[in-house]
Structure 1
Amino acid sequence: MASAPLNEVCLAALTLSIVFLTILWYKLTSNISHKEESRLPPGPRGLPIVGFLTFLRPNLHHQLTELSQHYGPIYKLWLGSKLCVVLNSPSLAKEVVRDQDSVFANRDPPIAGLVATYGGIDIGFSPYGSYWRDMRKLFVREMLSNRNLEASYSLRRHEVRKTIRNVHTKIGNLINIFELACVTKMNVVMSTMFDSNFVEKHRIDGAEFRELVVKFLQVMGKPNISDFFPMLARFDLQGIQKEMEAVLKSVDSILDPAINERMKMLSEGEIWGKGKKDFLQILLELMEQKDIEISVDLVKIKAILVDIMIGGTDTTITTIEWVMTELLNNPEIMGKVQRELKDVVGMNNIVEESHIPNLHYLDAVLKETLRLHPALPLLLPKRPSQSAVVGGYTIPKGTKVFLNVYAIHRDPQVWESPLEFQPERFLNSTNLDYAGNNMKYLPFGSGRRVCAGLPLAEKILMLILASLLHSYDWKLPEGENVDLSEEFGLVIKKSKSLFAIPTPRLPNFELYQ
């Protein structure tokens, strides 16, 4: 009998919750006028209050692509109180990232993302405007200039050579390609941010750094009810905001001592790195300058370092694994890549960044991999600053807008044999670049908010891939077949990790030292 009152209490609580959420849903959605609503794109019907949330499947990029086949290249769906619009064609992408780029230049960051970037003052999430323009200009001009990228090359080279030596100790054994790429990329990131000698001297723990980045990405990728019902954000019902705040404290525990030590060194006139400039040194020197367009303070420096630490990490690691997967699944293409490396680099030399501009076929392989497996299949969602018309439909101010590049990259009306891995399609196409100049190929986005770290990402990807493929032959374990299944998250990962066995290719043992 004791359960009856308990059931009544639960039923009453549930009823009150439904009433509360219904009122909340009505208030949150009533800002869209009836006139605007009548001109919204078509889309699937959801449930009251929760919208389409309960119908979402794990591989969201597949589901959204299927919905485009039913509702057309532009459609809407409600996720909680959030109106979302999905664009699935090059012509619609052009309307957003070219014709009305300034209107759609804002991001729609999750709450965890805002916490992670010190309130959204980084380059990735800060609102479009003069602050964002100045920050991006500072990042691209000062940090990613050809001069500074060349100055930091020795840092990248040192870490990639360390990986090649490490692989040589595991000849004939299974190697987890994702973990190999992860260690390499994280070491490159650490040395680029802090300089490897500085890392070793001050005992910055590489394993701790990697675990922290993994935790960072896990919390960032958790579905958060506060993102779908913004009125509930103050309650942090799932504790995700609190969890990210704890992760950020751990990030600060690494960044703050490094920044303080480097500031002390600079104030004492100590020269670090003998001409090699890591990003922290560049930023601190900019902070001391008074003649630049934007004032740089310590919090802004940390926000930019978080962008570098997090922004390209998961995408780069996952892309390396997908490239190796596709090459092992297409041994004849692997052979072409290695013949090019033999011709360009030579069997008695190691790969240098100076070789990269001449590795045309490897570049085509990377582009084709990013076509079939774009790291961010829906890019980062956009949020229009005012109501706009796209494809003849109204997109109200504040809508979450997804560019479904996964669908665009596999559209048979856009690509010939779209599901086949054919790097040759990129060899004679001058406008199919990484910068999004052709609307049918947008692996890093396009327009004002195209990936700011693109020049560095391209160099790191090509250097790691070229070094692994030039130094070693790779094969699958006996009896194993390549698994191409995907798992949706912040990035498209392989659902099953790739393991491969390396064999030395180069004749001189010293080339592995």
Structure 2
Amino acid sequence: MRLNFGRVPVLVISSADAAHEIMKTHDHVFANRPPKINYDILLYNFRDVSSAPYGEYWRQLRSICVLHLLSAKSVRSFRAVREEETGLMMEKIKHCSSSTSLPANLSELMATTTNDIVCRVVLGRKYSGENGKGFSKLLMDFTELLGAFVVGDYVPWLDWFSHLSGYYARAKKVAKQFDDLLEGVVEDHMNNPKGDSDEHDDFVEVLLWIQRTESLGFPIDKTVIKALLLDMFIAGTDTISTLLEWSMTELLRHPNIMKKLQEEVKRVANGRTHITEEDLSHMKYLNAVVKETLRLHPSIPLLVPRESRQDIKLNGHHIKAGTRVFINAWAIARDPTHWDQPEEFKPERFLNCSIDVKGKDFQVIPFGAGRRGCPGAVYATAVNDLVLANLVHQFNWELPGAAEGLDMSESFGFTVHRKIPLMAIATPYKN
């Protein structure tokens, strides 16, 4: 579907075949990011990897992130952090269930846990405890502002409207708060260097080591370091907690599926209290549940927009250079052409099925695909699977009310959370 938003030509992609054309056949043509105003304010003037224009600078930044944090080897190296923080989350739930009969706020617990894991892996320490709910609110405000529609992007003479609405003031305030946090983290690491060994405890140390030892053709200054840290932080917290939130929502709505998953997890655990990452490869039904959640509830329903770098003929249509491309991952994953009963939560559809969610099969693309696909799929699933497996293994769960009455409303923002936090009653499982 071709539209015009003010002076900007827009292409909306809502089928797997068209997504394949954009993200594979002509991936190099559509590898740019549009110069959106909110990216400029919130993402260090396009100096991060997610919003940087396609080119050598972007390639180098992406390579750094993949090699030093998001590769399978790097993800495995932080296994102990994930298992420790997951264990702490389980203890919080046990304490809550033993001291009060009130339901647990799973949305809040999941956000805190994913935040703590990312803080330790990326920044070297936790930051949520000292700031409490204020820190969580900062994250929510950031993703809301990042996903906001800014009319000045499309009709420049109406840009005054965004000023009048207070958007720019809010965005600059949130950007400054995040910058102050990251500035303090980088300064602390610079004042306490770990030396020039290539063994590092966190991503800040990696970036400072690269700054000292490697030449990339452009300076890795403090702004670049903060921009990359912000990418890893935002991408690694909100999207994963959203996936966990919707996974548990669907399991609570479908007790038969919850029971089937619990049976698999307990069989693999074989009497042990905690699930480890070694166990996850034996859990085919867990994998199917996660894929089905990603199909119905992609964290970013409209993938991060792309922009065409040159004129091109696409399926018989002329697409101009500078056309902004929105890929509707939500619609594609519910297309009845590819999915039987697409609105139903049916993990069984992914059993004995070769379709994956990491960018090779375009019927379901929660992480995008191609050059601009999210490189953090391995990291995201490692965190999500471990937490989800332990939640269903260590507790029996029920809703405070009837499953039919569970509010499924969605929030508005860059990622799509539940509008109302997920509350559930946990009963520790006894062998």
TM-score scaled to structure 2, two decimals? 0.91
Q: For 2:147, which of 221, 232, 235 is the aligned residue?
A: 221
Equivalent-residue separation in structure 2 for 1:339 and 1:290 (angstroms): 50
Q: For 2:368, which of 445, 451, 475 is the aligned residue?
A: 445
Contact 2:12-2:326 within 8 A present in 1 as well: yes
Where 2:96 maps in the other structure, the secondary structure is: coil
**Cα 1:293–1:459 shift into 2, 3 Å:** farther
Q: For 2:235, which of 306, 311, 316 is the aligned residue?
A: 311
Query: What's the counterpart of residue 455 of structure 1?
Result: 378
Q: For 2:69, which of 143, 147, 156 is the aligned residue?
A: 143
Query: What's the counterpart of residue 173 of structure 2?
Result: 246
Contact 1:118-1:299 within 8 A present in 2 as well: yes
Q: Deviations over 1:277-328 (max 9, x none)?
A: 1221222222221266765222111111111121232222222111111111
Larger Rg: 1
Query: What's the counterpart of residue 278 of structure 2?
Result: 354
Runs of 4+ in 1 over 6 A off after TM superposition: none
Query: What's the counterpart of residue 155 of structure 1?
Result: 81
Q: Would you say 1:426 and 2:350 are equivalent positions? A: yes
- Superposition pairs for residues 210-289 of structure 1, below 5 Å? 210-230=136-156, 233=159, 237-238=163-164, 239-266=166-193, 269=195, 277-289=201-213
In structure 2, give the amino acid aligned to 1:185. T
Where 1:494 maps in the other structure, the secondary structure is: coil
Q: Would you say 1:179 and 2:102 are equivalent positions? A: no
Equivalent-residue separation in structure 1 for 2:135 and 2:350 (angstroms): 37
Contact 2:410-2:416 within 8 A present in 1 as well: yes
Q: For 2:317, which of 376, 382, 393 is the aligned residue?
A: 393
Q: Deviations over 1:216-265 (max 9, x none)?
A: 12322333221221455599634433432222221122111221121221
Equivalent-residue separation in structure 2 for 1:118 and 1:149 (angstroms): 26
Query: What's the counterpart of residue 337 of structure 1?
Result: 261
Q: Would you say 1:118 and 2:41 are equivalent positions? A: no
Equivalent-residue separation in structure 2 for 1:101 and 1:328 (angstroms): 39
Contact 2:307-2:324 within 8 A present in 1 as well: yes
Q: Deviations over 1:127-186 (max 9, x none)?
A: 111111111111101222334323322222222211111111111421222112111111
Query: What's the counterpart of residue 11 of structure 1?
Result: none
Structure 1 gaps of 5+ residues are 1-74, 508-513
- Superposition pairs for residues 19-34 of structure 1, below 5 Å? none
Equivalent-residue separation in structure 1 for 2:273 and 2:213 (angstroms): 42
Contact 2:313-2:319 within 8 A present in 1 as well: yes
In structure 1, give the amino acid aligned to 2:334. R
Query: What's the counterpart of residue 465 of structure 1?
Result: 388
Equivalent-residue separation in structure 2 for 1:145 and 1:399 (angstroms): 32
In structure 2, give the amino acid aligned to 1:255. L
> How many equivalent pairs are there?
425
Q: Which has the higher contact order (CA 8 A, sep 6+)?
A: 2
Where 1:358 maps in the other structure, the secondary structure is: coil
In structure 1, give the amino acid aligned to 2:370. G
Residue 447 of structure 1: how far off its partner (Å): 0.8
**Cα 1:115–1:400 shift into 2, 3 Å:** same
Contact 1:88-1:405 within 8 A present in 2 as well: yes
**Cα 1:312–1:231 shift into 2, 3 Å:** farther
In structure 2, give the amino acid aligned to 1:462. D
Equivalent-residue separation in structure 1 for 2:322 and 2:196 (angstroms): 49
**Cα 1:261–1:476 shift into 2, 3 Å:** same
Contact 2:152-2:159 within 8 A present in 1 as well: yes
**Cα 1:336–1:290 shift into 2, 3 Å:** same
Query: What's the counterpart of residue 195 of structure 1?
Result: 124
Residue 409 of structure 1: how far off its partner (Å): 1.0
TM-score scaled to structure 1, two decimals? 0.77
Equivalent-residue separation in structure 2 for 1:422 and 1:293 (angstroms): 49
**Cα 1:477–1:243 shift into 2, 3 Å:** closer
| Identical counterparts, % of pairs | 35
